[in-house]
Amino acid sequence: MDWSEVVRKAAILAEKTGYVTFDQLNELVPSTEAEPEDIEAILTALSERGIWIEEE
């Protein structure tokens, strides 16, 4: 699946703070469609854009 839209939306959320929360990512990623390798790809894409994932 192409997760570029999820990465784009996460980047928008992170514009002000430089990070997204796990809760925000959970809202963006349909859990029924995400495989572990998909999550890894999303996290890698966010990291490459300088976006961190925070607990809260």
Domain ranges within the chain, ordered by starting residue: 4-54
What percent of the chain clears pLDDT 90, i.e. is strictly above it? 68
Provide the token pair at 41.
């790809």
DSSP string, 18-31: SEEEHHHHHHHS-T
Burial class (CB in 10 A: 0-12, 13-18, 19+), 6: buried
Q: Coil, helix or strand for 52?
A: strand
In whole angstroms, give the CA distance from residue 1 to residue 18. 26
For the segment 23-44, the average pLDDT, to the nearest whole number, is: 88
Task: Express each pLDDT in 6-30 by its tens digit.
Answer: 999 999 999 989 999 999 999 998 7
